[in-house]
Amino acid sequence: MNFGELKAAIAEDLNRDDLTSVVADFLADRIRYYQREFFFGADQTVTFTTTVGQAAYPFPDSVVNPQLVRMLYYSNWQLLTEVSYSDILALDTNVPSTQSPPDLWAPFGLIIRLYPVPDGVYPIEITGHGKLPIPPRDEVTNWWTTDAAMLLRYATSAQIRAIRLRDFEGAQADILSAERERINLLGETVDRDGQGIFAINWIIAGVSLLGLIHSTFSLL
């Protein structure tokens, strides 16, 4: 299923062929909402290059939750150790800062800080949870239009029924179905990734009452 076919399926679910632009807007909104979830389809690896004497770098826009950071040093990838930002501040006390190949990293807000401060130009690779983009054209196929298609069909239909059609009974049924699909996707994420933030999210999702409250207030 591509993006255009997904829109058409939602319009068919609603039995309305006069809501083309409405479906497109509400579907994009639901994708932006679910981009915050930790789904298996959103794992990404991105790279950047250090600058001599620069300790802090902005996270790539596509990465939401970094998990692993490594550095290419003389043709070998070396895994950097994650520490807290306060740990790096406690180490980086010299003025000027000590410069050497980094072996530590810490996230802080929208930046990543390395220690020691790089003394050369090193490729850095970040692996973690990223934002899967909204398909830019109807013919595009990605994770949202395949694995997450049913989640988006139910979630988008629920919002349109509640906000535009005032069909609250139909919206509630779609909310329940959307939550079931969300929990299934998070469960598959745990099966694939097995630990850490992914397992935590699946456990939270498994508490059905909290999940339903979460969906009801976010969809309506």
Q: Which has the minimum average pLDDT: 40-54, 66-80, 178-192, 199-213?
A: 199-213
Binned at pLDDT 50, 70 and 90, residue 102 comes out as: very high
Residue-level pLDDT at 220: 53
As a whole number, the mean pLDDT across the chain is: 87
With contact defined as beta carbons under 8 Å apart, do 151 and 176 qualify? no
Residue-level pLDDT at 198: 46
> Domain map of the chain by residue range?
3-39+133-219, 42-130
Cα 214–chain centre separation: 17
Binned at pLDDT 50, 70 and 90, residue 194 comes out as: low
- Edge-to-edge strand ranges of the sheet holding 123-130: 43-49, 123-130, 63-73, 76-79
Segment 2-23 mean pLDDT: 95
Give, as one character, the DSSP assignment of residue 95.
S
Q: Which has the minimum average pLDDT: 58-67, 125-134, 186-195?
A: 186-195
And the tokens for 157?
Answer: 């239909």
**At residue 180, does pLDDT exceed 60?**
yes
Give, as one character, the DSSP assignment of residue 99.
B
With contact defined as beta carbons under 8 Å apart, do 161 and 169 qualify? no
> What totals of helices (H) and strands (E) does the chain contain, helices first?
7, 8
Measured CA to CA, the distance from residue 109 to residue 156 in angstroms comes to 31
In percent, the amount of the chain with pLDDT more than 90 equals 69
User: Which is it for the CA torsion 202, 203, 204, 210, positive or negative?
Assistant: positive
